[in-house]
A and B are shown apart, each in its own frame.
Chain A
Amino acid sequence: DVKVTQSSRYLVKRTGEKVFLECVQDMDHENMFWYRQDPGLGLRLIYFSYDVKMKEKGDIPEGYSVSREKKERFSLILESASTNQTSMYLCASSSLNGVNTGELFFGEGSRLTVL
């Protein structure tokens, strides 16, 4: 089975802190994604990457950056956390064909609270 592992299930950070959310997948997938999920707003795409060192902005990239130095790892970075970044963050991966079929595999999520 595909496994997408997010480093932390729950984090509490203070405003202004730099936050790293790590995601690792074990299926050699080319594509990786970061979403956030908020009540009433649904799931929104922050960034995605289709190859090592490649990244593309999603719908809400402001306040975030990403890093993909290795194929299996995709990191989401909050340079200076703010309270409006309190959310559930979800990482996903897919094969090249998976992008066209919609078959994304998600991690269990990281619930971030910024105080």
Chain B
Amino acid sequence: DAKTTQPPSMDCAEGRAANLPCNHSTISGNEYVYWYRQIHSQGPQYIIHGLKNNETNEMASLIITEDRKSSTLILPHATLRDTAVYYCIVRVVTESYKLSFGAGTTVTVRA
């Protein structure tokens, strides 16, 4: 599995966009990028996933670079409830359930 690198922490102002980077320079052609988050004392929550095209849903947008070696998760209007640890994972789609979280990025949204 391709490894991912994320910054350990970042702050964001409430109401502003939060841009979370993830490096996955060894990603294979059949591996997808998945994002999950985990709010303190809760189970992880699926956010979004993508292969090579940019993706958007009601929670976030995912921007994947053309060479697929990095991606950015965008929370368009961060709220205090978005404070969480965000995990970027790379997996083949048939094993997407075999989640293996690293340290992730601790995002703190400040009023």
Contact = CB atoms under 8 A, between A and B. Distances in A.
A binds B: yes
Contact of B43 (A42, A103, A109): A109
Interface string B17-34: 000000000000000101
Contacts of A4: 43
Of A31, A92, A105, A106, the most chain B CB neighbours within 10 A belong to A106
Contacts of A33: 97
B100 A44 contact: yes
Contact of A106 (B44, B49, B98, B102): B44
| Secondary structure class of chain A's binding surface, majority of residues | strand
A43 B100 contact: yes
A100 B99 contact: no
B53 to A, nearest CB: 15
Contacts of A108: 41-43
B96 A102 contact: yes
B13 interface: no
B49 A102 contact: yes
Interface in A52-86: 58-59
Contact of A102 (B97, B100, B101, B103): B97
Given A42-B101, A43-B101, A105-B46, A100 B96 contact: yes
A114 interface: no
Interface string B45-56: 110010000000
Interface in A82-115: 90-92, 94, 99-109
B68 interface: no
Interface of A: 4, 31, 33, 35, 37, 42-45, 48, 58-59, 90-92, 94, 99-109
25 contacts: A31-B97, A33-B97, A35-B99, A42-B100, A42-B102, A43-B44, A43-B99, A43-B101, A45-B97, A45-B98, A58-B98, A59-B98, A90-B44, A91-B43, A94-B97, A100-B96, A101-B96, A102-B34, A102-B49, A104-B46, A104-B99, A106-B42, A106-B45, A107-B43, A108-B42
Q: When A and B form their complex, which 6 residue pairs have the shortest distance between CB atoms, in order from nearest?
A: A106-B43, A102-B96, A42-B101, A43-B101, A102-B34, A103-B46
